[in-house]
Chains A and B, each alone.
Chain A
Amino acid sequence: MKIDVLIVGAGGAGLYAALSAVKENKDLNIAVLSKVYPTRSHTGAAQGGINGALANVDPTDNEELHTFDTIKGSDYLADQEAVKYMCYEAPKIIREMEHMGVPFSRLNNGKIAQRPFGGASKDRTCYSADKMGHVMLHTLFEQCIKEGVTFLNEWFMLNLVHNGKRLVGVTAINIATGEVELIKTKAVILATGGHSRIYWGYTSNALGCTGDGTAAILRAGLPVKDMEFLQFHPTGLRKSAILVTEAARGEGGHLLNNKGERFMAKYAPDKMELGPRDLVSRSIMTEIRENRGFRDEEGREYVQLDLTHLGAEKIKKRLPQIRELAIDFEGIDPIKEPIPIKPTAHYAMGGIDTNVKCETPMEGIYAAGESQCVSVHGANRLGGNSLLDIVVFGNVAGKEAVRYAEGTDFAKGGEGKKEEEVKFIKELMNKESKETLGDMRNELGEIMFKHFGVFKNEDEMQEGYNKLKNLIERAHKNLGVEDKSKVFNLDLQSTLEFFNLLEIADVLAYASLQRKESRGTFFRDDYEKRDDENFLYHSVITRNSDGSFNYKKGEVQLGLYEPAERKY
């Protein structure tokens, strides 16, 4: 198969990239490949909204304030010009999507409604009740149908193939048939989403948020960036870790400890519940650690998110999905009772290292969306900035990839890689499993949550890293695929995804150990302060052929705002 521009991933980033690519050059052969049907992508789970200084609610808002809030929120690790670009694009791209049909909630004057969100100085988050990602994803998909975009649905990308100078193609399995193919392509955009599933069982993410693209980049010898930064969202449901959007606090929800106190008064007296995520997550964990949390019969610890005072009407209108989730997954109606919540692994700030043009160091390989790290989120992403990031950089990636593909031909070779994949999979299928995938996945989640959780320190991390190394070794030795069928073999797919998770957990743990400071979401008990002198840099990591890591310090582009202490 030959495709001029291949987009891997059909979330917000992938679909926007596809639309911009198709609009840029209709004559190219452009296709989107995704392991799930496009509308299943995890972008659909985004609830709260998308940021842009439309100034519909607060006329004093502007792009500059958005830029500053984002940089401050990032704990000054974001690249400032990139942030500026994103924030100035925001109102335009949001309106662009509105013109495509996104059904935003509206103000009484007919303009797009906006709500307050954590870490934002103004009411800036555009929303559609509490299903922003869902309506965005579906609208983008609809527009792709309109533009006649080609889709390869339920195809699983395995690896990138390059010749050391430029991209040759990608290898992928057609899930329905089990056939491995080499797809030759001039340019590829990796829009494969996040990897919070390394916290298996403790994450808001979908089962398939396994960082496949990021792992493929590592295997291709290309760099990942800022991998130690993974955000915990303060409000995951107690049992399932499913997300309760920040909008629940934006709409006025209170966080309560077992004394019935709004404990955020201690930690963020000004912003209260609307402090940035890193701070709120730590505050919750502190309450729990100091025995001011709740504990249920199963021993799960949590605090309460109280919406009852908002009243039935507001909850039904603004947070209908949250109500549904609380009822379905906790058996609690938030109109009547507070929701039990605890922090949940949520968003990967780190990812594939690219510049603002979405280019990786390898010609022809681009990345966009959560899998990418420009970086615009630095050490901590603000709520509502990811949906923005994925479309802004999806747009850039689509255009850049087309431009590159226009000026080049298909590279030769790559067939050997396909044979390698076939052989690898065959071996995996023939191997007798000595341990089960289910158990090992749970083990991974336990290790990561315990040792690389909201609070970290040297000893805990070292211990965790040892456990992780052991798990990785066992997995490669003991894990095979029991399901021998070729058709829709999800057992095989899950196993491959698990190997990707291990790849990522490994690099995340490694990167965490190198950073001896606290910054944004990355918090160490043993180094509680930010240390700009020694650590104001991006960690840029590649894997050497012997398996070891190569660690480099990437420069953080400042220039607009000098790093200052964050207070909320």
Chain B
Amino acid sequence: MEKIKYTVKIKRYNPEEDRSYWQDFEVEVEDSLTVLELLMHIKDKMDSTLTFRAFCRSAICGSCAMVINNRAGLACKIQAKDKIKRGVIKIEPLKTLKPVRDLVVDQEPAFDKLKKIKPYLEADPKIVPDNTKVESLVLPEEFARYDKQTDCILCMACYGQCNAIEGNPEYSGPFQLTKVFRFVMDTRDGMDIQERIKLAEDNGIWDCVQCQMCFAACPKGIASCEDILELRRVAKDTGEDNVATRRAKFWFETVFATGQIDKFNLPAVALNDEKGEEIRNNLAKEFTQRGISQEHFVPQPFENIKDFQKFIKKVEKEL
């Protein structure tokens, strides 16, 4: 059995003194440990006060999310030796939640946000039978639309990495919005789609900055960022008219017409108000000052644009 030596740098939090500090542990351990086993080793052999949550140790209960080398993930799923960088592994509590003690954070606020989006099926009486003699029928391809999303273990790794929360603490969070998506897609759900979408909107779909960090953090490979785009699409398709849906429509239209998004007119169209007009006027002024010719204000269709348009039509229909 091979043993290796390295430093484990842990950001601890002492609640009695309300103080965060880094502590180094020098370990010499087998090279086959998970980060969780490494922490258990430290707790068992070096410092029994080191505090962290863990339960299943098999990446299914969602207890052990923490930040390992600046990235949130599950301690029990990650091999320690892959994380040694220049002799050091750095471990911290999830960043967008308050520490309770050492690596344990207060998850209640994130759970409260989950509760707010009504994270449950409201059975649709048209699909879900009112007796237990039969089940509702769901075709495999219908289930496939939200199958992945039901893998979520509420570990909050995504939440701990979410930039939208950095900018707006009220933002609901990636896994919460994935949950909305999951129910929007479930054919058995009877809650009015507008209500589901309103829940998504009130809880932040327009605040997401599409940074992809939720996807990068998720131990289950769930891309909340993409679910959020899908929710935006559903919002648009169910008649929502706002700056974002106007932007989305205009974006597609101009890309279809020229191959590129028309950024000159976009603010005016999307904002659809005086401010938008003002931005356009200012842009025009700036362009003129910089000697940009009028025809360069907006993208021009490239050669054989018709072929491109046929292509897009076909992609929409056939892919």
Contact = CB atoms under 8 A, between A and B. Distances in A.
Interface of A: 36-37, 39-42, 44-45, 54, 91-96, 98-101, 103-112, 128-129, 131, 134-135, 138-139, 142-143, 145-146, 176, 206-208, 239-240, 242-243, 297-298, 321, 324-325, 328-329, 436-439, 481-483, 485, 487-491
Contacts of A108: 139-140
B100 A44 contact: no
22 contacts: A39-B62, A39-B153, A41-B61, A44-B56, A45-B58, A95-B133, A98-B136, A99-B135, A100-B121, A103-B146, A104-B135, A106-B140, A106-B143, A138-B150, A145-B114, A146-B122, A239-B32, A325-B59, A481-B48, A483-B49, A487-B16, A489-B51
Contacts of B132: 91-93, 95-96, 99
Contacts of B188: 99, 101
B104 A40 contact: no
Interface string B118-136: 1111110000110011111
Given A145-B119, A437-B48, A487-B101, A111 B135 contact: yes
Interface residues of B, number: 61
B57 interface: yes
A108 B111 CA distance: 36
Nearest to B111: A37
Given A242-B58, A325-B59, A485-B49, A39 B119 contact: no
Nearest to B121: A101
Nearest to B149: A103
Nearest to B115: A145
Nearest to B148: A320
A110 B101 contact: no
A140 to B, nearest CB: 10
B252 interface: no
Contacts of A145: 114-115, 119-120
Interface centre among A91, A96, A103, A208 (most CB of B within 10 A): A103
Nearest to B101: A488
B137 A487 contact: no
B134 A95 contact: yes
B75 to A, nearest CB: 12
Contacts of A42: 55-56, 61
Contacts of B192: none
A482 B100 contact: no
Interface centre among B63, B107, B135 (most CB of A within 10 A): B135
Given A108-B140, A145-B114, A482-B48, 9 more contacts: A36-B53, A40-B56, A44-B56, A95-B134, A110-B138, A145-B119, A145-B120, A146-B118, A488-B15
Nearest to A242: B58
A94 B133 CA distance: 10
Contact of A103 (B56, B79, B115, B147): B147
Nearest to B15: A487
Contacts of A208: 55
Interface string B97-109: 0001100100100
In order of increasing CB-CB distance, the 8 nearest A-B pairs are A438-B44, A101-B121, A110-B137, A142-B120, A92-B132, A146-B120, A40-B61, A488-B101
Contacts of B104: 488
Contacts of B119: 142, 145
A382 to B, nearest CB: 22
Interface in B252-275: none
B54 interface: yes
Contacts of A106: 138-140, 143
B58 A325 contact: yes
A101 B62 contact: no
A42 B56 CA distance: 7
Given A40-B56, A92-B132, A329-B58, A490 B51 contact: yes
A106 B135 CA distance: 11
Interface centre among A41, A93, A145 (most CB of B within 10 A): A145
Nearest to A37: B107
B186 interface: yes
Nearest to A56: B135
Nearest to B74: A328
Contacts of A482: 48-49
A275 B296 CA distance: 75
Given A44-B153, A488-B100, A206 B62 contact: no
Given A142-B119, A437-B48, A483-B49, A207 B55 contact: yes
A40 B48 contact: no
Nearest to A433: B48
B135 A40 contact: no
B120 A485 contact: no
A36 B61 contact: yes
B45 interface: yes
B193 to A, nearest CB: 16
B151 interface: yes
B77 interface: yes
Given A438-B45, A482-B48, A487-B101, A110 B61 contact: no
Interface centre among A176, A239, A481 (most CB of B within 10 A): A176
Given A45-B56, A92-B132, A240-B58, A483 B48 contact: yes
Given A40-B63, A142-B120, A131 B55 contact: no
B319 interface: no
Given A146-B120, A487-B15, A488-B101, A206 B56 contact: yes
Nearest to B127: A99
Contacts of B189: 101
Contacts of A329: 34, 58
A107 B143 CA distance: 11
A487 B55 CA distance: 19
B60 interface: yes
Contact of B150 (A135, A439, A489): A135
Contacts of A109: 137
Contact of A98 (B44, B49, B135, B150): B135
Contact of B1 (A298, A489, A490): A298
Contacts of B139: 106, 108, 110
Nearest to B188: A101
B185 to A, nearest CB: 10
Nearest to B182: A103
B213 interface: no
A103 B59 contact: no
A436 B44 contact: yes
